[in-house]
Structure 1
């Protein structure tokens, strides 16, 4: 590294890292090897470690045609892939490329160095993986859950959890770059044994400028082992005296400075994935592991794709927040424009809308400077200071919005005088004289928590005094005074919108005094035309977005909500027909469960009388959806939407063997047939005739909806005797009473392990436990990770999926049993649990998870554990 620095350069601090040429270090990590060839396929560079992978001497390759040492089939594969490059900045991945003469296969990454046209091949031993399709499915399943968040912080938190689940790293952080170049950890998913980094800030020098530039060019960065400095690439310099440019290399070795930085943090392996919005680096996914680790070819590709999709989702969320803000400003300014008149006081006319805008900007006061008139509201500077500020603002362009969060430094050179406002946002609203609307923010005395003292003098180290990274990462707090909250880009957008609207009104008043009415009117019309043009452009854009997004009349949230209730209805139906090993179940009971789940304590408003029957499983799910839609629609539009309304259901086993269901709604509002048939109507009217070959009629009578359904004999059979039915009800009431016991008793454990290979189910169970008072939940998707957590972490309870991928979770249970940690099993197959004799008696529940089932499992396991340990 010293070859690229001036020997006389004074040692200052870690910001000198900005000058380190990290893309020209000339080394690669040893988990793979590199070969670079010219456009005519002559080898120009090779990493020194190629002999560890192929029976080839590196010195014999340089200057030779690649075809003399590589199979022609491999070269042909690379040539074909190069044809698909959109531009020279592209990268292509090839999986499991065979070297038949070496009896080896390699995963390969190919890119082209733009400046020289050099083709770079990076290879690493192929790692067998049949998980690619499953991991891509995880990404697809993550998107609906992520899309429901209206806060970008919640979105980032869930994204960190997904990425940790996909990649297996001990810690995954979302690291956002702030306006001053520093970074802050705004979301984190970690193993519970690790100290939290959430909320810590890192100075800008921790990720130098040239590293940020590379993160835009190369969105994924892998460090397999922080204790390894890498293998040289030969020759060390080209004919023009420069090392090979490894800017786009996936194997590129890491600066010794950064390796020391990671070791100081006790990080043995890392992976960083760029979060890029509008072509700019917004932040990073930073993944850490406490032992050396190589994320394989498939996981890197899936992680990179996940980051790209997340970046689009985050961009949409931020744009949506801006859109809502724009709409509110438009509403306020429209009110202002409609309320002003030539006979009114212009400043007084502004005050109501400026007070509303002030709240939108989180400002503590404002001043209006118009001609020689100055009026203020809320927290503002002293009159002398305000005059000095306006004179200073006059030196800037008449169209420039100016903002600062350190007003004392900018306007008064920190002269020692204590001033209440610390932040300022000035909006010019005329050319001459200079008139302004100025918003002010109060001082915020902040205590910022840094990951180590960012200004701590750097000590001498293995890489020289000026380049040694911070050794301590203990949190260090710094008090900041004389500053306000920073004005965000959203604030500046609001200011620009306000400037356009206010300018039109102010010009209308000031120009009537200074110029002839005709000139003032022309300027007003010109400005209005410009404003109309901009509004039309915005409306056209919104219309285009709406048109492109149209495919359903439902919002995403509504769609997810409706879909969720229908899935829950199916889940309830599934529970009832699986209680007796996929056997027929009671129709009356199904109606009661559906009414209770939707209406709660008002379930008695759905009254069912007549003959019960047992529905065969294939008919039960279909009819459960029909009843769900009927209850839902009645609660929204029919009898159940009114306090006095009710539904009477009469059932009868007909002589011909058919089972009839008569649904009658009364006491609700007048009903009429819907103008459009949606998915719910289709379920009600067509599913029974189409799927069960029965009959369905729906009449929208004025007094209330009347529906009749008939099921063929093959789907129904008589219900058991009344005594058995009453006993079943008693059993259900007893179970409900048990599950309604105090929550605190069921959730006494606070530190959980969840071993579950289904991402969605794992996250739902994690949320359920956290919402119910758990302190920490460690989630593992495979046997290896779960065993590591079970062995190392402090745990109070564990829930283990019996079938964990291609293995069982019994070895995890043996570790937990040896440590005396209570645990239970979960299964998705409904079979009776059979565990090894060494584990003894164990409790088990069936999936999907719900609050009562999990609560019951925890209670039963703790009771069993208590008996076994007495």
Structure 2
């Protein structure tokens, strides 16, 4: 039989260690042996050291059934154990091989079963010992008030249980740098408590493997890896040893441990909320083997610890949260007037800083900064707000190291190393920002983190120095906690409502002032209107009277003087008409007459009689179609149609009989205004006069607007503006369409 080993011989160094396939090393540690069997219980892989523990050689075992190794008499129990693997997760199966007892642990790996055999230790703990430890753990778990105390107790108990020289609880931060959070050690070793280790010490694939396999044992750091063999061409796959206890470890990690002077290790994963929270790292400074049951007992304590992490963290947070909530409640229960003076008073309340444990706060409204405590200058605050707004997610942004992301902020480290930003609104750029100064932190590293990789004659290798190295962290504040973020969010929501109330109050004040100014302007306009319609009429009548008397003396005055007097009299008459139209225009706005049903046909007949002289002069014809009734104010509706018919007569063509047609459509219409969905009665007035360019169809309704010279077409320019005012008073519309030298169409829309 031709054999091949599956050892992974890729060259591993610190330049590629993060890609090292540590789950398929192709070798194991020598304190046990391994076989891998298929679904037919045929051995497909075996470790090279099988003959160190049994009388069989590698060649004899491969491609043969498992009973060759364990014997037919144990096969049934072996298969039963495999069929109930899920129920036997912590209990190994005891097998007798060549009169030696082995504890066998089995797990699935793809389509194979990995069977790991270790000789049964003579020092298996008694059940009473394990029971005593469980009782003791339950006792100190209840006594420990903080997470720190609990971790200290776990480290102490595991060291007593296992006998390792040093047991540490190793906690990761969010970048996976590690900190020795708790420690129990023998007196002759220096303490590691409080030391930090860079994330490069435990590469990402190693952290992922710690999540899959919660326990890793290295019995002797100086071990020689044992290769795993298979029959050549029997399989081309590597053997996944992710869940293996005997799995050989990375040579880089072995070198790292040797540099630390460690002889043996036990590592237990601490998983919290599906993530690697930390490790229980047990170090021994010489060879140390730990039996399976003791390992499980230690691992169980790790499980107990992770089950308590959230409880302890919540308990610690509760104490902080109680203080924060008290400050928040005090703040929210205060009453302030809705004005900017009160906003400034609110910002200076001490509780606004207490709810976030901040040193300063700033509220920005209309680019005005209201601030309290230790903050940057106003211009700097506005820069920070603009920068944070662009990076905020749903209007919120927080960081404990602002200069790291915003280099310009380095000059504000003493006041704004950390910021908590909330956008309160977009119209007036309402914003609140809490500030924290830098907290000069001294971090004790186990060796210089910048020298975690050493270059020597052998190339790149793990660092050899683990001497304490102190790092002063600048321009960084304490992190914002969940409790602080929640309190800030609650207050920001209330502040947003308060600012909205301020803005509404200010707008109401502005509107009140504008209304006052408008009333004053209206009074002034009414005074002017009174002067124009009353005080001006008297001198105007005298001008007309004196000019008429002088014209009666026509025989005694020269022709030039007579012409001048005639022009003066005509101007006075035009001014009289203008004053009359202004009076009518003013009256429309103050009309309080009630609406009545108006017979439109009778109204038009009455108007044509009134305009009979003009109609005969223009040789005009006024026709109607379908006129019925409509709701309106009779006096001003009469004025409306009189203006429009008179307008058509005025702008008729010379030497062409004027034709004016007035029609009312039977079915209600929608307004041409796009957003108006109500129904209207449509009336059109069509003439064949001189018309106008359609670009002026809106301009002609503006007061005093004229398209033609007054000497040719007399008038004041108020008639159509008055018509539009009348339609507005009736909640209707008037539109005009014209064609030059062809005529005009006026469309009236009265609410149906």
TM bucket by the smaller chain? 0.5 to 0.7
| Structure 1 residues 38 and 349: CA distance shift in structure 2, 3 A | farther
| Structure 1 residues 417 and 343: CA distance shift in structure 2, 3 A | closer
| Structure 1 residues 370 and 493: CA distance shift in structure 2, 3 A | farther
**Displacement after TM superposition at 1:400 (Å):** 4.8
| Structure 1 residues 321 and 110: CA distance shift in structure 2, 3 A | same
| Structure 1 residues 427 and 513: CA distance shift in structure 2, 3 A | closer
**Displacement after TM superposition at 1:185 (Å):** 0.7
Unaligned runs of 5+ in 1: 518-870
User: Which residue number corresponds to residue 41 of structure 1?
Assistant: 41
- Residue by residue, what CA displacement relative to the aligned partner does 1:203-241 show, whole Å, maximum 9, x if unpaired? 101111111111111111111000114211123998674
Matched, 1:107 2:103: yes
User: Which residue number corresponds to residue 55 of structure 1?
Assistant: 55
- Residue by residue, what CA displacement relative to the aligned partner does 1:679-728 show, whole Å, maximum 9, x if unpaired? xxxxxxxxxxxxxxxxxxxxxxxxxxxxxxxxxxxxxxxxxxxxxxxxxx
Preserved CA contact (<8 Å) 2:152 2:182? yes
Q: 2-side partners of 1:74 and 1:511: how far apart?
A: 83
Matched, 1:480 2:473: yes
Pick the aligned partner of 1:358 from 353, 356, 360: 353
Preserved CA contact (<8 Å) 1:325 1:494? no
Structure 1 segment 11-410 matched on structure 2, within 5 A: 14=14, 16-86=16-86, 92-95=89-92, 97-99=94-96, 102-113=98-109, 116-128=110-122, 129-235=124-230, 241-340=236-335, 343=338, 347-348=343-344, 350-351=346-347, 355-356=350-351, 358-359=353-354, 361-397=356-392, 399-410=394-405
Q: How many residues align?
A: 500
Preserved CA contact (<8 Å) 2:432 2:492? no
Please state whether the residue corresponding to 2:287 is helix, strand or coil.
coil
Q: 1-side partners of 2:151 and 2:158: how far apart?
A: 10
Preserved CA contact (<8 Å) 1:449 1:476? yes
User: Which residue number corresponds to residue 706 of structure 2?
Assistant: none
| Structure 1 residues 365 and 50: CA distance shift in structure 2, 3 A | same
Farther off after superposition, 134-143 or 301-310: 134-143
Q: 1-side partners of 2:185 and 2:231: how far apart?
A: 40
| Structure 1 residues 121 and 408: CA distance shift in structure 2, 3 A | same
**Displacement after TM superposition at 1:416 (Å):** 6.8
- Residue by residue, what CA displacement relative to the aligned partner does 1:277-328 show, whole Å, maximum 9, x if unpaired? 1121111111111111011111101001111011112321012223344444
- Residue by residue, what CA displacement relative to the aligned partner does 1:83-103 show, whole Å, maximum 9, x if unpaired? 4445xxx9724446132x611
Pick the aligned partner of 1:428 from 423, 436, 453: 423
Preserved CA contact (<8 Å) 1:237 1:244? no
Preserved CA contact (<8 Å) 1:237 1:243? no
Q: 1-side partners of 2:170 and 2:8: how far apart?
A: 30
Q: 1-side partners of 2:491 and 2:441: how far apart?
A: 35
**Displacement after TM superposition at 1:498 (Å):** 2.7
Unaligned runs of 5+ in 2: 1-6, 508-752
Q: 2-side partners of 1:221 and 1:176: how far apart?
A: 17
- Residue by residue, what CA displacement relative to the aligned partner does 1:518-541 show, whole Å, maximum 9, x if unpaired? xxxxxxxxxxxxxxxxxxxxxxxx
Please state whether the residue corresponding to 1:455 is helix, strand or coil.
helix
Preserved CA contact (<8 Å) 1:430 1:503? no
User: Which residue number corresponds to residue 510 of structure 1?
Assistant: 500
| Structure 1 residues 78 and 416: CA distance shift in structure 2, 3 A | farther
Q: 1-side partners of 2:447 and 2:232: how far apart?
A: 38
- TM, length-normalised to structure 1: 0.53
| Structure 1 residues 371 and 166: CA distance shift in structure 2, 3 A | farther
Please state whether the residue corresponding to 1:144 is helix, strand or coil.
helix
Preserved CA contact (<8 Å) 1:26 1:236? no
Preserved CA contact (<8 Å) 1:367 1:438? yes
Q: 1-side partners of 2:432 and 2:235: how far apart?
A: 59
Bigger Cα Rg: 2
**Displacement after TM superposition at 1:64 (Å):** 2.4
Please state whether the residue corresponding to 2:462 is helix, strand or coil.
coil
Q: 2-side partners of 1:94 and 1:156: how far apart?
A: 26
Please state whether the residue corresponding to 2:23 is helix, strand or coil.
helix
- Residue by residue, what CA displacement relative to the aligned partner does 1:516-565 show, whole Å, maximum 9, x if unpaired? 99xxxxxxxxxxxxxxxxxxxxxxxxxxxxxxxxxxxxxxxxxxxxxxxx
- TM, length-normalised to structure 2: 0.61
Q: 2-side partners of 1:295 and 1:238: how far apart?
A: 37
Q: 2-side partners of 1:330 and 1:430: how far apart?
A: 25
User: Which residue number corresponds to residue 694 of structure 1?
Assistant: none
**Displacement after TM superposition at 1:56 (Å):** 1.5
Q: 2-side partners of 1:505 and 1:172: how far apart?
A: 50
Farther off after superposition, 207-216 or 323-332: 323-332
| Higher RCO (Cα < 8 Å, 6 or more apart) | 2
**Displacement after TM superposition at 1:37 (Å):** 1.3
Calculate the aligned-residue CA RMSD, in Å. Answer: 3.1
